[in-house]
């Protein structure tokens, strides 16, 4: 009997609560509005998905598609959120209650943040953290505690001169900075991909432009993040100036390498793909970085040369204006050998090596009459210095050796006559 009375009382309390809270005119209007909007959303969900995906599919850049496809899949939910926002504004203008509309709005916003974070953020931990943050904010807003919590966080503050730093300011700043940095990084990747497809720009200008754009976007993101939370940037001018002086003195070499890297990119004296020789190091440039240049050598090593050394040191760029380079091989023959035949054989030896160009033609010059040999110089041209120069000279000398031995051209060696007199 007691259980029956308790169940009856509970039933009566639920009916009274529904009559007093839900079946009143303002709440009924809100419930009807939410229901109509949600039914329309479900009806147009698939056509809207196809429409947004088709818009995103028009972009050919892979980086742009990685950003636009998640936005396209979340597009219908963004429209649902806008519909709830608009309905809330209309009810507020009519001075009607908006409790249920704000509840639907909060839940939709939390769901949009969760969908975007799961698709755009590659880190699982960060995506889960954003999802938890969205649910916490939505729960506080539904319970009507959001203003109370934000006020509590704002009261936990310290003052540094005229600047007031609170926990709420730090949270807002961290969220804004993360958002703007992500946007800056995404736009930078899209622009770098687009720049790499522009054949009008040299590789050096592509690297320089992409680095300047990335630096400018990151700087803009930091400035916007600080400005969005109400921090006066002029208050940090003196402090940032002192920090800059300290960094300049303590990191002088680093700054020098950074500036040297910009100079190399601007004057294009060294660019990716060039074959250079510096202090007995020979190889080709694989990449230009902010602090160093990567030089791949013929023996499989990769040397990281500071940019400052390339600016202040002496560098031989074998492919600065052209890939054509001239090589030479010095040969000595005996005085008893046929000089004209030896010169023709040297030219034939150069023509037998595949890497040597036919135009300009190889030539053999008579350099001097030495003490024990007639000295010749064979000159020839190659167009692929990245494949090495010592190996092609070795092939030429091996061919000369074979041809000279076949035609009995003598290679002299130093000789000395010693006369002994009887004292």
Higher pLDDT, 403 or 423: 403
For the domain covering 325-406, report its CATH number.
3.30.70.100
Is residue 18 predicted with pLDDT exceeding 60? no
Mean pLDDT of 208-223: 78
Peptide bond into 152 cis (omega under 30): no
Token representation of residue 409 = 């051209």
Q: Among 58-72, 93-107, 159-173, 192-206, where is mean pLDDT lowest?
A: 58-72
The model's confidence at residue 52, banded by pLDDT at 50, 70 and 90, is confident
Fold of 256-317: SH3 type barrels. (2.30.30)
Most confidently predicted of 98-112, 187-201, 203-217, 376-390: 376-390
pLDDT of residue 398: 93
Give the domain ranges of the chain. Answer: 6-144, 173-250, 256-317, 325-406
Q: Which residue has the tokens 């150069």?
A: 350
DSSP structural state of residue 162: T
Share of the chain above pLDDT 70, in %: 73
Give the pLDDT score at 251.
65
Q: Which residue has the higher pLDDT, 64 or 249?
A: 249
**DSSP state letters, 65-125:** HHHHHHHHHHHHHHHHHHHHHHHHHHHHHTT---HHHHHHHHHHHHHHHHHHHHHH---HH
**Model confidence pLDDT, tens digit, residues 277-330:** 887 778 888 887 777 888 888 777 888 888 888 888 888 887 777 778 888 899
- Give the HSE-up count for residue 145: Cα atoms under 13 Å, Cβ half-sphere: 9
* pLDDT number for residue 65: 56
């Amino acid at each position: 009997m007691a259980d029956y009375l308790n169940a009856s009382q509970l039933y009566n309390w639920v009916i009274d609560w529904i009559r007093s809270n839900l079946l009143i005119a303002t709440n009924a209007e809100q419930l009807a509005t939410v229901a109509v909007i949600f039914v329309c959303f479900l009806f147009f969900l698939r056509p809207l998905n196809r429409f947004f995906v088709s818009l995103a599919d028009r972009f050919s850049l892979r980086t742009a598609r990685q950003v636009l496809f998640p936005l396209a899949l979340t597009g219908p939910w963004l429209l649902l959120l806008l519909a709830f926002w608009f309905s809330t504004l209309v009810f507020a203008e009519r001075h009607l209650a908006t409790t249920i509309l704000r509840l639907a709005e909060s839940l939709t916003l939390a769901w949009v943040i969760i969908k975007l974070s799961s698709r755009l953020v590659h880190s699982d931990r960060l995506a889960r953290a954003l999802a938890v943050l969205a649910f916490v904010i939505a729960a506080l807003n539904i319970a009507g505690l959001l203003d109370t919590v934000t006020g509590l966080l704002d009261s936990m503050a310290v003052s540094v001169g005229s600047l007031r730093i609170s926990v709420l300011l730090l949270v807002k700043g961290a969220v804004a900075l993360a958002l703007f940095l992500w946007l800056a990084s995404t736009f930078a990747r899209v622009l770098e991909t687009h720049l790499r497809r522009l054949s009008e720009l040299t590789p050096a200008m592509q690297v320089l432009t992409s680095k300047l754009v990335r630096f400018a976007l990151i700087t803009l993101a930091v400035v916007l993040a600080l400005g969005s939370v109400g921090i006066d940037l002029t208050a940090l001018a003196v402090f940032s100036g002192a920090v800059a002086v300290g960094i300049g003195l303590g990191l002088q070499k680093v700054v020098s390498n950074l500036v040297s890297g910009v100079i190399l990119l601007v004057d294009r004296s060294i660019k990716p793909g060039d074959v250079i020789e510096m202090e007995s190091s020979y190889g080709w440039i694989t990449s230009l970085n902010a602090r160093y240049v990567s030089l791949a050598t013929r023996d499989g090593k990769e040397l990281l040369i500071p940019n400052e050394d390339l600016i202040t040191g002496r560098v031989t760029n074998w492919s600065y204006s052209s890939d054509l380079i001239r090589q030479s091989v010095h040969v000595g023959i005996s005085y008893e050998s046929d000089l004209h035949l030896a010169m023709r054989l040297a030219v034939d030896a150069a023509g037998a090596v595949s890497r040597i160009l036919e135009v300009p033609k190889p030539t053999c010059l008579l350099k001097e009459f030495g003490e024990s040999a007639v000295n010749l110089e064979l000159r020839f041209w190659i167009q692929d210095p990245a494949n090495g120069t010592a190996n092609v000279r070795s092939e030429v000398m091996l061919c000369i050796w074979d041809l000279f031995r076949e035609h009995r051209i003598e290679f002299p060696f130093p000789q000395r006559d010693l006369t002994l007199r009887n004292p």
